[in-house]
Amino acid sequence: MKNGHSHSNGKAVKNGKNGANGSGGGHDGFVLPTTTGIRTIHTPSVRETFAGKHLLVTGVTGFLGKVWLGMLLDHVEDVRKVTVVIRGKKGEDATARFARIVERNPAFRPLRAKYGLGLRQLVADKIHVVEAKLTAPMCGLSCEEARALTSDVDCVVHFAGLTDFEPEPQQAIDANIHGARHVADLAALTPTKRYVHVSTTFVAGMRQGAIDEKLERGVSPTGIRFDPEAELKELELGLKTGNSKKERLDYAMGRARALGWPNVYTYTKALSEHLLEGRTDVVTTTFRPAIVECARSYPFQGWNEGINTSGPLVWLLSTAFQRFPAKASLCFDIVPVDTVARSMMVVVAAALRDEAESIYQCASGDLNPLFFERATDLCSIALRRLAEKKDEGWFETNVIARLDAQCLDDVDREQILGFRRMREAARATRNFLKDFELSRVLPPVVYEKVDGEKMEEKIRSFSMKCRTTDRKLGTVDEMLRQYRPFIWDHDYRFRTGHLKAASERLSEEERALFGFDVEDICWRQYWLHVQVPGLDTWCLPLLRGEKVPEDEPLALGEAPTEEVPADGVRAKKSAADPADSVEKSEPAMRATA
């Protein structure tokens, strides 16, 4: 069912397919029989739809928001204005932060390559940066400020969200529930009340099989009826009694599980959907991506940011531990970030024409499923090739990279992983070696003979390796526990008919730019040439405790003296200065969902 809302007296009212507001665009793209044959009418162009429009967008500092904003500015030159709502961070105000991101983050390479220093002018002409606090009522703006900000906004697009699986629960509530609510309040002030909300397919929670693009308000994944407002109230009240993060997390997880959500992230994202569904003052279009992963081509092949779902899994396979802790038969529902951004272009355009569906899912499993068994095989091959290319050493290239990885299907995963035992061994060895002095146990003559100093150095280095191993295993163990619902417990098949239909209505030219392209993905090519090399560059260093450097900045105030190379990177600086590293270089875990 389409949103089909119309607005009367400032109220958004649902009135059935295509509405009664005369937009009528819903007929476009349908195949019509005519007296002279069959004629396909395409949806008005995405670019035409955006032309002259003013959007208010949150979350453009994140992985997905940046790629989408870059694509918008790159491919839709006639968009009139984009107001980006950002918070200041680490001593930088919103304006300085946004300028730095545009000038240095790899997501904006195509724009930098296209415009050079002219990008500054483009940003000055089109972008309005607003520093605001999403977690405060009306985003911390006064009534006058909010009204002025929204008076000619055509659509509000909300990407922002706290994507950790198990954060401090109140923070997740503030970002994912109150944040969305406050941004929707801004949308309610706009003339058209259009609000596009980015959620996740994994609000499906503890269910199996086909997941439709719909929401039954007040019905949980396990079929329990609940009142979303009352649930939120009780949850927040209960959290006040928790004395530690663990207690608060246990409490929130208890409530989440009782209703059928496996973690705080999916619980808060889902509650937000249920609460928004009850609002009549905005026209909400919900967009649910599955697991967002490396770009196929935009901003460039392999781009990714932060630690995502497949990062730790791929890292595991690159070690001597050759097990993929996922069920072989389960669908690994990943979507390249540029596919997600393209889809969002189509969805926002549909919202701007008042002909959007209520919910769009953006996933690959429906039309082109990849199963964990295949992903594991492809991953092994890709890692082997990488090891050969890098020539990491005889042992890595000839032994580790040649081991054949397997999924842990049908075996007790916890037992086989034995992380705890591996960690204990690493810790015990470290403790034994860290204060070990060879000179104390060897007679001086022997110490001299065996070059004791050199040996002590080796022992120290091995002891450090044990410590690193212990920490890495701890991180991965924790991640796997959190990922379990998505790689072990639930076999989802997210339906994506709405996006496919919208994509089919695009002209051929626009389908090439914005079409829903998951059916074109060759998973072999993707894993070998995109995903694993992309993770190796952008994600695995973070797991190794290293930093990912930002690009060189545009030369401030100077005319461009050199072309930006095709890959957009002039030279990589050392990441010694933390201020120079990509913002998300802290290994914060982004939820898969």
Ligand X SMILES: NC(=O)c1ccc[n+]([C@@H]2O[C@H](COP(=O)([O-])OP(=O)(O)OC[C@H]3O[C@@H](n4cnc5c(N)ncnc54)[C@H](OP(=O)(O)O)[C@@H]3O)[C@@H](O)[C@H]2O)c1
Judged by CB under 6 A, does residue 296 bind ligand X?
no
Q: Which of 291, 347, 401, 506 touches ligand X (CB under 6 A)? A: 291
Please work out the total of residues on this chain that contact ligand X, with binding judged by CB under 6 A. 29
Q: Which is nearer to ligand X, 28 or 478 (CB)?
A: 478
Q: What is the DSSP string of 242-306?
A: -SSHHHHHHHHHHHHHHHT-SSHHHHHHHHHHHHHHT-SSSEEEEEEE-EEE--SSSSSTT---S
Judged by CB under 6 A, does residue 134 bind ligand X?
yes
Nearest-approach distance from CB 200 to ligand X, in angstroms: 4
Nearest-approach distance from CB 479 to ligand X, in angstroms: 14
Residue identified by tokens 């590293």 is 581
Element (H, E) at 473: helix 452-484
Judged by CB under 6 A, does residue 61 bind ligand X?
yes
Nearest-approach distance from CB 353 to ligand X, in angstroms: 23
Contact 302, 295 (CB under 8 A): yes
Nearest-approach distance from CB 561 to ligand X, in angstroms: 32
Q: Which of 469, 476, 397 is nearest to 428 (CA)?
A: 469
Contact 205, 222 (CB under 8 A): yes
Q: Which is nearer to ligand X, 15 or 171 (CB)?
A: 171
Judged by CB under 6 A, does residue 494 bind ligand X?
no
Judged by CB under 6 A, does residue 203 bind ligand X?
no
Within positions 265 to 284, which residues make up the interface with ligand X, using CB under 6 A?
269
How many Cα neighbours within 13 Å face the side chain of 52? 2
Nearest-approach distance from CB 61 to ligand X, in angstroms: 3
Tell me the per-residue interface mask from 171 to 200 with ligand X, x by CB under 6 A, - otherwise: ---xx---x------------------x-x
Q: Which is nearer to ligand X, 62 or 70 (CB)?
A: 62
Q: Which of 158, 139, 167, 232 is nearest to 199 (CA)?
A: 158
Q: Which of 125, 154, 519, 89 is nearest to 354 (CA)?
A: 154
Paired strand residues for 89: 92
Q: Which of 25, 65, 70, 365 touches ligand X (CB under 6 A)? A: 65
Within positions 496 to 525, which residues make up the interface with ligand X, using CB under 6 A?
none
Burial of 28 (0-12, 13-18, 19+ CB in 10 A): middle
Q: Which stretch binds ligand X (CB under 6 A): 58-66, 214-222, 473-481, 558-566?
A: 58-66
Helical pair 179-189 and 264-277, crossing angle rounded to 10 deg: 30
Q: Which stretch binds ligand X (CB under 6 A): 29-37, 55-63, 383-391, 423-431?
A: 55-63
Residue identified by tokens 């970030």 is 337
Buried/exposed 321-331: b ≥16 CB within 10 Å, e otherwise: bbbbbbbbebb
Q: Which is nearer to ligand X, 64 or 408 (CB)?
A: 64
Judged by CB under 6 A, does residue 89 bind ligand X?
yes
How far apart CA 177 and CA 136 sit, in angstroms, is: 11
Q: Which of 155, 160, 316, 387 touches ligand X (CB under 6 A)? A: 160
Can you give the binding site for ligand X, defined by CB under 6 A?
Answer: 59, 61-65, 87, 89, 134-135, 159-163, 174-175, 179, 198, 200, 269, 289, 291-292, 306, 308, 590, 592-593
